[in-house]
Amino acid sequence: MSKLDRFDDREDAVSPVIATILMVAITVVLAGTLYVWAAGLAESNTDGTLSLYAFDAKEAPGTPTEATDDNLAIITMSQGQDITWSVLSVTLSVNGAASTTCAVPGQTGGSCVVVDSSEEANTWSVGEDVTVIENGVDMCSDANCEMSFAITNLRTGQSLAKTTTGVGSNPVSDNTDTTPTDPVDDTSQEPQEPVDNDDSTGDDSTGGDSGACTASSECMAGGYCYNGQCVYDDQDMDGVSDQQDNCPQNANANQADSDQDGTGDACDSTPYGPMT
């Protein structure tokens, strides 16, 4: 074998060695990179242990007023782990307005304040309710306030959760009020027709429409209101129409006719005398 052939064989043997070294180096670099990335990801998502939080918010009992110390909402931690108030931030937005930071237990500033009435007032625990109260500012003055809360861990910068109370249901109650109004009005109008027909003493005498009334202005022209009914063609205004009045010229109390002659005592020259 010539020297040239032996040199070519050496070159062929060196190339696989270099390739193997490069592959090992690349593998080590990739492994280190993946380790650093995974460690950073784990650190950003955990604080010793994995903590997933959930909160529920509802309106506080009663209707908010224009006062500046109303109870606004009750927030409950429904999932998570105990956490101290010193690392928490609670913000409130009313009806989509800009958020304001509420004072948590141990603080006094802010337009609203979170009140923890539990025995461990420095820690928020699972299942524990806290109350959000106005702190010298009227933030909500009616029952239609939608309150949105955001809870953040200030130490890690992690947003724990967001929750909202939703909107009140007053429009539903308004619709409910209007629903029975129409049938009530209809039933109040329907009986008026038979009432008018039954009160023949006032209506049949005139041929007009005389119904119930509270004032004479509610009656048709020429009529007046007497004992809750419109009366027409009544000269003496005693409540009895002229056609049925035994004394149409003079008011004759109770249509008195002592001698039963068809002429009322107020118009009869001989009310107690012989029949004429």
1-48 pLDDT, tens per residue? 555 555 555 555 557 788 888 899 999 999 989 888 877 665 555 444
The answer to whether the CB of 143 falls within 8 A of the CB of 170 is yes
Q: Which pLDDT belongs to residue 141?
A: 87
- Measured CA to CA, the distance from residue 138 to residue 69 in angstroms comes to 8
Helical H segments across 89-243, by residue range: 170-178, 181-189, 192-198, 200-203
- Residue 236 one-letter amino acid: D
Q: What is the pLDDT of residue 160?
A: 94
Whether 140 contacts 111, CB under 8 Å: no
Looking at CATH, the fold of the domain delimited by 54-164 is given as Immunoglobulin-like (2.60.40)
CA distances to 16, 140, 173, 268 from 72, rounded to whole Å, are 75, 8, 21, 81
**Residue 116 and residue 106: Cα distance in Å, rounded?**
10
Pairing verdict, β 229-232 and 129-134 = unpaired
| Segments of the chain with pLDDT less than 50 | 46-49, 169-210
CA 125 – CA 36 distance, rounded (Å): 34
Q: Where does residue 222 fall: left (phi above 0), alpha (psi -120 to 50 degrees), or beta otherwise?
A: left
Positive/negative CA dihedral, 237, 243, 246, 247: positive
Distance CA 270, CA 258 (A): 9
What one-character DSSP code corresponds to residue 253? G
DSSP run (H or E) holding 64: none
Write down the residue that tokens 């049925």 correspond to. Answer: 244
Residue 177 has a pLDDT of 41
In this structure, which long-range contacts are made by residues 97-100, counting pairs with CB atoms below 8 Å and at least 24 apart in sequence? Answer: 99/148, 99/150, 100/139
Instruction: Say what the pLDDT of residue 9 is.
Output: 58
What's the number of CA atoms in the CB half-sphere (13 Å) around residue 179?
A: 6
Q: What is the pTM of this model?
A: 0.45
Q: Where in the chain is the domain with CATH 2.60.40?
A: 54-164
Residue located via tokens 């629903």 = 179
- What pLDDT is recorded for position 222? 75
Query: What is the chain's alpha carbon radius of gyration, rounded to the nearest angstrom?
Result: 47
Instruction: Note the pLDDT of residue 168.
Output: 55
Do 164 and 150 form a contact (C-beta atoms < 8 A)? no
In whole angstroms, what is the distance from residue 149 CA to residue 84 CA? 18
Q: Are 54 and 159 in contact (CB under 8 A)?
A: no
